[in-house]
Every structure is written in structure tokens, then in C-alpha cells.
Amino acid sequence: MDYKKYILPHIWNLKPYSSARDEFKGSDGIFLDANENPIGSGLEENYNRYPDPLQWQIKGQLAQIKKCSEGEIFIGNGSDEAIDLLIRMTCTSDSSSIIICPPTYGMYEVSASINNVPLTKVNLTPEYQLNIDSILKAINSSTRLIFICSPNNPTGNLMNRQDIYKILDSFKTGFIVIDEAYIDFSEEPSFIQELNKFPQLIVLQTLSKAYGLASLRLGMAFANPTIIKLLNKIKPPYNIGGATQRLVQKALSDSHFVTESVKQLKVNKQQLIADLKHINGVSTIFHSDANFILVKFIRAQELFDYLISKKIIARNRSNVELCNDSIRITIGLESENKELIQQINIFYTKNNV
């Protein structure tokens, strides 16, 4: 793939900010280059030095976990940062466009709007799968990015793998972004292992879900090293803070927590589904490969408001196209799910459903 053709020229030619520590690699020395405070931070741990702009230690760990090379990894301040940078790298408002497949994660549209880039929406099928023929028809010479979320938010299901291959086989004049934020909860292998076959493929993952590190803000893009170098050029130099880097290194050194919590959340999900099946007001429980379920309820809006009044906060999707009367419920602790079920039962009993 001739990447230069599909990257905005001013980005391709950009001379990036050179950070103070670019000329010296090492941790020992007298550092008088970055106008830091040499005395410390006044905290238990010191954060007075700028963090590694390219987060090499974390990339070393991730390369092993994700079975790819360090050069194929970009680290962002959440995968939301990667979404925004990918748009800024490839799209202008007058000559580019993006395809998304609603109902899907809201930030693709928000980031496109922030960057004033036209968006084509090709809705999922009623079964929440990719509408392949319509996607292929919607692709034109201005298409630079296609976002595919799998498992999809808010529907929870994986996209059919063969359908994704069809798009990868037919669209080569821009980039296909597969957002795998919830992949750790599914049984499906990641598309990271397909990077060698598809030069236009970009995979997004995050530590915000299965890894339990949403507050630290760390997301990843996996792609050909040419793409990764461009993302690194346009990101703010120190986009991942030192506290996040330290804590993430620690978290990644032990996979026990992730394995165990994914296992536990799957058990909790099955229990929650079993309990919901006994409730008359539940119309449909959609199949989920993620750590949440989309559920269609009778009188969904009223139920949602009632739950809020009981301080149980779910995500009301009942006004989203193809999700009418549906609420997205994150799988909680066993006790939290029990309380939710109890309150849903009280609501329907009161309303004679």
C-alpha cells in the first residue's frame, strides 16, 4: 500500500516537536534540559521528570501480551485519542469522508464532527450485523476511514468475521479501523494477528475495560509501523503521564487479575441474563460478547427513570435507532446485579406488567 497517497500531505511532511530528551537515551545523568524541578514533587513518589514520550517499557510488555512488535503499537490517552488522531491524519473537511455503522460507539461521530469531516452512516442490519452490500456501495473515492466496532457498543455482539474480511478484501484506498475495546470478553481472536496481511488495517484496544484501568486513560492502536510513526508524530509529546505509565507497567506484569475478573464477569453476566429471563417486562435480551448487555424492556424510559431514582445508573439507548426501548446494562458485581433485578421486579409489579 502506498501510504503516502492516503495520509494528508501536511501530516506526512510534518516535522514533529523534538522533546528535550530526544537526544539522550538513559536514566542516569544530570538533567538540565527540560526546565523541570530537580528537587522533587512533594509526594511519596516523585513525578518531577517528564515521562517517556514513546512509552517503550509498556510497549515491550504489550508486544509480548498481544504478540506483535513494539513498532506496531501506538499508545494514546485512551483509545479516544487514537480515534481523533486517525481522523486528523487522514481526513479533511472538503475531500474526505468516514463510514460508520450505527448503532455504534458515539465517539466516531463526535470526533468526525469536531474535525468537520463528513460522515456516511450505514446502519447495521436488524440482527446487528454489518450491512456488507450497503457498506461496499457507500465506499467512494473520498472514503478514508471505515470504523467497525467488534464486539459492538451498544449492541454487545461480535461482527461476523467473514464480513470484516470482505471489507478488508475490497477497500484498499483508505483505512479500516476495527475497534476491539471489548475483545477480552469475547471468544474471538483479535485482528492484530492479521496486520501483516492487511496493510490498511488498524486495530484499537483499551485498558479501560477488562484491565480495569479506565481512570488511568490508556488506549492502543495496532498498525503497520509507518502508521504508528505518523500517529507518534502528531500526538502531544507527553500524552501518557508518568503516574499512568508506572501503574500500567505494574498492572501488565501480572495477568492474573484480568483473567480472573473476565471469568467472574462472564459468570455474573450469565446469572443476570438468567434472572432477567424471569421478568415479564423484558422483551429481548440481545446476545453479548462483551461486559454489558443490551436489553429491550416494556416501558423502557419509565424503567430507566425509576432505576435512576433508586441510584442505579444504566445507559438508556431507547432513543437510538435500532435500539428502541432498549437499555444497556454493564455487568456489575453479583450484589449490584441482584439489586438491579430486585428493583426491576418492584417497578413492573407496581405497574402491573
Residue 239 binding ligand PLP, by CB under 6 A: no
With CB under 6 A as the contact rule, the residue among 219, 223, 281, 320 that binds ligand PLP is 219
Among the residue ranges 19-27, 140-148, 206-214, 304-312, the one whose residues contact ligand PLP (CB under 6 A): 206-214
The 10 Å CB-count burial string (b at 16+, else e) for 311-335 is: ebebebbbebeebebbbbbebbeee
CA distance 39 to 330: 45
Give backbone dihedrals phi and psi of 307, rounded to 5 degrees, phi first: -60, -40
CA distance 343 to 94: 50
Q: How far is the CB of 178 from ligand PLP (least distance, A)?
A: 10
Under DSSP, is residue 194 helix (H, G, I), strand (E, B) or coil? helix
Spatial CB neighbours of 64, under 8 Å, sequence gap ≥ 6: none
Mask of contacts with ligand PLP, 74-93, x by CB under 6 A?
Answer: ----xxx-------------
Residue 181 binding ligand PLP, by CB under 6 A: yes
CA distance 203 to 193: 10
Dihedral Cα 97, 99, 104, 107, nearest 10 deg: -20
Looking at the Cβ atoms of 80 and 184, the one nearer to ligand PLP is: 80
Q: How far is the CB of 81 from ligand PLP (least distance, A)?
A: 7
Strand order through the sheet with 292-297: 282-285, 292-297, 326-330, 315-316
The 10 Å CB-count burial string (b at 16+, else e) for 101-111 is: bbbbbebbbeb
Looking at the Cβ atoms of 80 and 289, the one nearer to ligand PLP is: 80
Residue 329 binding ligand PLP, by CB under 6 A: no
With CB under 6 A as the contact rule, the residue among 139, 149, 210, 340 that binds ligand PLP is 149
**Count of residues in contact with ligand PLP, rule CB under 6 A:** 12
Looking at the Cβ atoms of 219 and 281, the one nearer to ligand PLP is: 219
Looking at the Cβ atoms of 79 and 337, the one nearer to ligand PLP is: 79
| Nearest CA-CA partner of 239 in 86, 351, 79 | 79
Q: How far is the CB of 153 from ligand PLP (least distance, A)?
A: 4
Residue 214 binding ligand PLP, by CB under 6 A: yes
Mask of contacts with ligand PLP, 98-127, x by CB under 6 A?
Answer: -------x----------------------
Find out whether 185 and 266 touch, Cβ atoms under 8 Å.
yes
Q: How far is the CB of 189 from ligand PLP (least distance, A)?
A: 18
The phi-psi region of residue 150 (left if phi > 0; otherwise alpha if psi is between -120 and 50; otherwise beta) is beta
Q: How far is the CB of 227 from ligand PLP (least distance, A)?
A: 18
> Which residues contact ligand PLP by CB under 6 A?
78-80, 105, 149, 153, 179, 181, 206, 208, 214, 219
